[in-house]
Structure 1
Amino acid sequence: MDSTPHRHSSVEAHRSVGEHRSAVRDLLKPLTSSGRTERLPLLDALGRALADDVHAPLDLPPFANSQMDGFAIRSADVPPGGTELRVAAPVPAGAGASILEPGTAVPIMTGAMMPVGADAVVPIERAVPDSFPAPGAEALVRLPATAAGTFIRAAGSDIASGELALSAGTHLGPGQLGLLAGLGMADVEVYSPAKVLLITTGDEVVEPGLPLDPGKIYDANGTLLAASMEQAGLHVTRTGIATDDPQELQALLRDHSQGMDLIVSTGGVSKGAYEVVRQAMEDYDVEFLHVAMQPGGPQGIGTFDGVPFLGFPGNPVSCLVSFEMFLRPVLTSLLGAPAARPAVKARLAEPLTSPEGKHQVRRGTFLADGSVRLEGGPSSHLVHALAHSNALVHVPAGTAALAEGAEVEVWIL
């Protein structure tokens, strides 16, 4: 058993949403410790987060190049009224540096290296004629006056060598991976994904696909949370459904928690007579408390044999909201992955009421006109309404009612 003196789970503490999120962050802070990283090829790092700052090893672009198909010139060679210049040999993309002779114009392709001595590019459509001559042909082209620096991408104009390219903790999406590839990096150091042991509890709960006897319900929580965690980049191990026997639950945890970074359970955390998780954690450093949130108020937090533990409520919407309000944003803040839920302002399509002392989280559909339609009521069992939602609607503590058209914060799922 955990040698740390346990906190008495019979004492019911109360926390705000922010306070409990901070407690979860403190619990999971070791996930950022050294040795919890790995080096991966860029594409394998998609969705992960940088473990270290990355500084640019070179200028990007590495050389001055043309922004347009056109003619590279010395701006001083063309007077205000324009002039004719002799066409020199072209510079294709990928070719090395050439030298621009005075009084000449060099055909140049987009991205090609600027010739030495050239300080501007005239787009092909501004030239007369507005086409390139055949290679090797003697030709003249009339060009307008063009200021120095026009249509030139300077070396290091995107990022200069030595500058901070991406900070540790940055979530790696396509844009970030594209930058690293552009800097010549083939692989990158990222945080390793957390390994989570997920346990569903309850004698009344049955695995989907099995016969459903009277008084039983199918387990939605296991699939709901496992899918949420996998989508967030966690490695999830499920044990099947635990019975309401505390000793059996303890044995199950001991058998499967070794090597895990976190244990998450659903159910058995309220104040009823048969709350198996509370009973199983009686001699461990686990606290059971109430967060001022609807749904998802009852929560458990602590450690089991040194492994961080979070106990979520048993109703499907409650456990999903608990994940979205606590575990997911904490992983984002600590590891940079998963990406934060987009938060937008929306107008309520209908009025609502809320317990004034609680932060209410409603399910809704964010619509194209910037409004949000509530799906179902506030009850924590309405998984059908959850399945038809694409957003979480936040009603902060201290708000008892909101009228139709009131502005609310919405997290896009």
Structure 2
Amino acid sequence: MTGKPIDDCFVLDKDRLPHHEAIAILRSRVRPVTRTERVPLGETSGRFLAEAVVAPRPIPAHDNAAVDGYAFAASDYNNEKGASLRIVGEGAAGHPYEGAAPIVGAVRIFTGAVMPTGLDTVAMQEDVYIEERDGTRWAHIPPGLKPGANRRLAGEDTQAAETLIRPGVRLRPQDVASVAATGLGAVWCHAPLKVAVFSTGDEILRPGEPFAEGKVYDANAPMLHGLIAAAGAEAIDCGVLPDTRERVLAALEAASKRFGSIVISGGASQGKEDHVVQSIDRLGKRHLWQIAIKPGRPMSFGQIGDCVVLGLPGNPVAVFVCFVMYVRPVLTRLAGGAWPEPARFPLVAAFSQKKKAGRREFWRARLVRDDGRLLAAKFPRDGSGLISSLREADGLIEVGEEVQDVREGDLVNFIPFSEFGLGNH
């Protein structure tokens, strides 16, 4: 590990923290904890970059042709009449024109070929009429071309010594292409963060087990595995913990010595059989518990040694909301990434809804079209156990603490699931 969470204990001075204070606590107390390693470029997509990538030379390195055609000097060309120029040679990508300069005439050139010295403009081949005259080929170039037409300049994409990608970026295929253009065959990245995933509760069955009355299948763990992978970390299934204080304590203590983070769903309240918060308090330090949000109020954040522990509610919708809004950025930062702040898009509400002041709410919503306009339609039911609402939604509507009434036609802040690395419908 290369770092550790900041362990000064946060003293809770409110029953429930507002969203912005919870975010501030999380941001201030997490640092990258993974080692760094040099990774072959073809294996870097999805990894968090650990060192800046700086261009060692201009990209492209030379002026080159953007099309197949004929290169010539703008000084030999009349914009109103065009020009007739003798073809003196040819240049192709990887095989530049080798004739001597200065060049009097035109050079047949292909896309990507280095521009011959002294030539600065290219006419597209389909616009040029070729004539054979006394064993010599002539290019008749039509009028109307601007100087520099169809030419890519050296450094047009990237200048020498320019920083292409900064540390903390999660590399996408297009980022990898940009790195490849510099000539680098490997880059320094953070090793994947390993996250222990627990479910809790005597009522929990794992999918595939026979159904029994009074039991419920564990939807949280499979969902968390997918969410953690989308965040760029690696989920390790650590099973279901029973509602036994000693078992929860022992499991969290053992996992804290093996993993950089623990994500645990259920047992997050203060009921008789809820042991997660008490276990964090006994084994380590708790920095956050009870956020003034809906759904997801009883989320907790703490640490056991250098291991960050994130306790989530038991209801799947609350687990999902807490993960994308709070856990995902924490795991991203622990894994070496920059703190991700999702973009909010103002959309017109296609519904009316009242809410309580003093808490932030996240409503599941779908995108709908009405007379060419894109609107946000709230899922009609708010239950935090309604997994179908997550499946049918395109994103979340975020409603601030001060709002008490949203009316049809108001602007609302919509966060599409794509902001969390998740696909939309």
Q: Is the contact between residue 364 and residue 395 of structure 2 (CA under 8 Å) also seen in structure 1?
A: yes
Query: 1:126: Cα distance to partner?
Result: 3.2
Q: 1:177 to 1:109 in 2, by over 3 A?
A: same
SS of the residue corresponding to residue 30 of structure 2 reads: helix
Match of 1:370 among 367, 374, 378: 374
Query: 1:201: Cα distance to partner?
Result: 0.9
SS of the residue corresponding to residue 168 of structure 1 reads: coil
Query: 1:366: Cα distance to partner?
Result: 2.2
SS of the residue corresponding to residue 129 of structure 2 reads: coil
SS of the residue corresponding to residue 197 of structure 1 reads: strand
Query: 1:377: Cα distance to partner?
Result: 2.1
Work out whether 1:115 is the aligned partner of 2:119.
no
Q: Deviations over 1:153-188 (max 9, x none)?
A: 111121121111111122311211111111112221
Amino acid at match of 1:323: F
Query: 1:324: Cα distance to partner?
Result: 0.7
Q: Distance in 2 between matches of 1:66 and 1:204?
A: 68
Query: 1:45: Cα distance to partner?
Result: 1.1
Structure 1 equivalent of residue 420 of structure 2: none
Structure 2 equivalent of residue 138 of structure 1: 136
Amino acid at match of 2:298: P
Query: 1:193: Cα distance to partner?
Result: 2.1
Q: Deviations over 1:330-389 (max 9, x none)?
A: 444673379765542222221122221111001122235421222242221111211222
Amino acid at match of 1:391: G
Match of 1:408 among 389, 412, 416: 412
Q: CA RMSD in A?
A: 2.7
Structural mapping, 1:160-239, within 5 Å: 160-239=159-238
Work out whether 1:25 is the aligned partner of 2:46.
no
Query: 1:297: Cα distance to partner?
Result: 0.8
Query: 1:102: Cα distance to partner?
Result: 4.2
Structure 2 length-normalised TM: 0.87
Q: Distance in 2 between matches of 1:42 and 1:75?
A: 41
Structure 1 equivalent of residue 397 of structure 2: 393
Greater displacement, 394-403 / 332-341: 332-341
Q: Deviations over 1:276-305 (max 9, x none)?
A: 213333423125632111000112221124
Q: Distance in 2 between matches of 1:399 and 1:220?
A: 32
Q: Is the contact between residue 277 and residue 311 of structure 2 (CA under 8 Å) also seen in structure 1?
A: no
Q: 5+ unaligned residues in a row in structure 1: which ranges?
A: none
Q: 1:12 to 1:213 in 2, by over 3 A?
A: farther
Q: Distance in 2 between matches of 1:192 and 1:345?
A: 37
Amino acid at match of 1:59: P
Structure 1 equivalent of residue 49 of structure 2: 50
Structural mapping, 1:219-368, within 5 Å: 219-284=218-283, 285-287=285-287, 289-332=289-332, 335-336=336-337, 341=342, 343-367=344-368
Query: 1:74: Cα distance to partner?
Result: 1.8
SS of the residue corresponding to residue 149 of structure 2 reads: coil
Q: 1:138 to 1:338 in 2, by over 3 A?
A: farther
Q: Distance in 2 between matches of 1:318 and 1:271?
A: 17
Structural mapping, 1:96-107, within 5 Å: 96-98=96-98, 99=100, 101-107=102-108
Q: Is the contact between residue 15 and residue 290 of structure 2 (CA under 8 Å) also seen in structure 1?
A: yes
Q: Distance in 1 between matches of 2:209 and 2:146?
A: 77
Q: Deviations over 1:117-176 (max 9, x none)?
A: 2122222233234xx979x96212222465442322111121121111111122311211
Structure 2 equivalent of residue 60 of structure 1: 59
Query: 1:13: Cα distance to partner?
Result: 3.8
Q: Distance in 1 between matches of 2:87 and 2:32?
A: 65
SS of the residue corresponding to residue 263 of structure 2 reads: strand
Deviating 4+ runs (over 3 angstroms): 4-9, 99-103, 144-148, 330-343
Q: Distance in 2 between matches of 1:259 and 1:333?
A: 19
Amino acid at match of 1:394: E
Query: 1:68: Cα distance to partner?
Result: 2.0
Q: 1:298 to 1:158 in 2, by over 3 A?
A: same
Q: 1:42 to 1:337 in 2, by over 3 A?
A: farther
Q: Distance in 2 between matches of 1:376 and 1:155?
A: 56
Q: 1:397 to 1:385 in 2, by over 3 A?
A: same
Query: 1:56: Cα distance to partner?
Result: 0.1
Q: Deviations over 1:208-245 (max 9, x none)?
A: 22233332211111112122112222111122110111
Q: Distance in 2 between matches of 1:231 and 1:219?
A: 20
Q: 1:42 to 1:339 in 2, by over 3 A?
A: farther
Q: Distance in 2 between matches of 1:340 and 1:289?
A: 21
Structure 2 equivalent of residue 93 of structure 1: 93
Greater displacement, 370-379 / 158-167: 370-379
Percent identical residues: 29
Q: Is the contact between residue 349 and residue 375 of structure 2 (CA under 8 Å) also seen in structure 1?
A: yes
Q: Distance in 1 between matches of 2:86 and 2:54?
A: 43
Q: Distance in 2 between matches of 1:377 and 1:404?
A: 17
Q: 1:332 to 1:70 in 2, by over 3 A?
A: same
Structure 1 equivalent of residue 422 of structure 2: none
Q: Distance in 2 between matches of 1:176 and 1:346?
A: 30
Q: Distance in 2 between matches of 1:176 and 1:137?
A: 50
Q: 5+ unaligned residues in a row in structure 2: which ranges?
A: 1-6, 418-425
Q: Distance in 1 between matches of 2:346 and 2:375?
A: 9
Amino acid at match of 2:366: T
Name the count of aligned residue pairs.
Answer: 403
SS of the residue corresponding to residue 141 of structure 1 reads: strand
Q: Is the contact between residue 100 and residue 118 of structure 1 (CA under 8 Å) also seen in structure 2?
A: no
Amino acid at match of 2:104: G
Amino acid at match of 2:203: E
Amino acid at match of 1:379: G
